[in-house]
Structure 1
Amino acid sequence: MSWLDVLFLLGLAAAYLLYRADVARRAGRESSQAVYERQERSAMPAMIAGGRLILSETYHRTEVPRRFGARFDQVFMGTDGLLYPVDTKRRGRRAVYGYDQIELSVQAAVLRHGRVPGADAPVAPCGWIRLVCQGTVRYERVELLGDEELANLHARYFAVVRGQVKACGPSTPGACRKCPYLSRCETGQRIVASGQRRVA
């Protein structure tokens, strides 16, 4: 056997070893993805854990009941044939807020009235907040607002922005501190000021 034949065989063996290493690496990655999927599904409510993912990380709009746009984290077709919006929140404490309900409700309105590919089933009366808190995942059920309630909130929001009505403010000053209209909202400024005094 010539030295060229030896080099050829060594090259062939090296290529085979690289191929096997690549196959093993991919198998390891796929198994870790499968483990993640299994862990995530075990944390989900049974209704969506046994269902299928319809939408993930997409944006859609509707004109009904008002002009709304929604960025969906995930939408599942539940085992009951209904669509469930799921929104992920990462927080330092385990809490679900009123604006979480509004956000999920807008997503539901877009699913009901918008042209959303694959979302041709009825929307459930509830959605889920996927709460990531201190490294653990928990799904919190949230009842969804209807079209009339969303239309009323929409009208009130713009009436507050235009100064036609006064804001009633949230129950805690945290939401006011993050509000982009705080500089021109007397109610919000009063709530933030009183909240700061309570903390001090």
Structure 2
Amino acid sequence: MGPELFLVFLAMAVMTTVIDLVSRRVFGKSVHWAVREGLPRDVMLGQLVMSETPIRTRQPVALHGTPDQVFLNRKGCLVPIDTKLRGKARATHADRMQLSVYATILRHTRAEPVADYGYVRTVTPGHRVRYIKVWLLSERRVIAQQHTVQSKEYA
């Protein structure tokens, strides 16, 4: 490698460091965290509107829960996220139901529309984080499931 090529690489390294430092001051550390975290692009470009905030509704049925996060995505829709500690990065039917319950509550308590998907944020051994997109169940299925659970409780 000649001295000219070395100087080019050195200049690129210095510019990268300067850009990183400036962006941290301008955009804050949250942008860097979101990139390292692997936050999905649609919510990374949006806004966090809830973090571990209890939510509830009585309509169309009594439901309650505490989503880990709810983002307002760049299209203006609410996206629920729930974190799970797992041996493997996977989403279950119970995760899908839980996110669907949150979505149903949000539809009845917030003015913003709710996306038809959410994310299960899995943390696996070694603190590896992965976001798994989950298509939510319809409100009708959530209500039917709640009626089934209530009928078993009173049986």
**5 Å matches for 1:118-197?**
119-134=110-125, 135-163=127-155
User: 1:39 & 1:136 partners in 2: Cα distance?
Assistant: 14
In the superposition, the TM-score normalised over structure 1's length comes to 0.59
**5 Å matches for 1:64-143?**
64-114=59-109, 119-134=110-125, 135-143=127-135
User: Which letter maps to 1:159?
Assistant: S
Alpha-carbon contact 2:90-2:132 (below 8 Å) kept: no
Aligned mate of 2:32, from 27, 38, 52: 38
Unaligned runs of 5+ in 1: 1-29, 164-200
User: Which letter maps to 2:141?
Assistant: E
Further displaced range: 153-162 or 94-103: 153-162
Alpha-carbon contact 1:108-1:123 (below 8 Å) kept: yes
User: 1:161 & 1:63 partners in 2: Cα distance?
Assistant: 18
User: Across the two proteins, how many residue pairs are aligned to each other?
Assistant: 128
SS at match of 2:142: helix
User: Which letter maps to 2:150?
Assistant: F
1:37 Cα deviation from its structure 2 partner: 4.9
Instruction: State the match for 1:181 in structure 2.
Output: none
User: Which letter maps to 1:161?
Assistant: E
User: 1:45 & 1:94 partners in 2: Cα distance?
Assistant: 15
The one of the two structures with greater contact order (alpha-carbon pairs below 8 A, sep at least 6) is: 2
* Structure possessing the higher radius of gyration over alpha carbons: 1
- The 4+ residue runs of structure 1 with deviation greater than 2 A are 39-42, 158-163
User: 1:41 & 1:82 partners in 2: Cα distance?
Assistant: 21
Higher helix share: 1
Once the two structures are superposed, residues 91-110 of structure 1 have per-residue CA deviations (whole angstroms, 9 ceiling, x without a partner) of 12222111111111111111
Alpha-carbon contact 1:65-1:148 (below 8 Å) kept: no
Unaligned runs of 5+ in 2: 1-23
Over aligned residues, Cα RMSD in angstroms? 2.0
**Percent of aligned pairs with the same amino acid:** 32
User: 2:33 & 2:130 partners in 1: Cα distance?
Assistant: 12
Once the two structures are superposed, residues 59-88 of structure 1 have per-residue CA deviations (whole angstroms, 9 ceiling, x without a partner) of 011012210011121110101111100111
Once the two structures are superposed, residues 118-159 of structure 1 have per-residue CA deviations (whole angstroms, 9 ceiling, x without a partner) of x42100000001111121111001111122111110111122
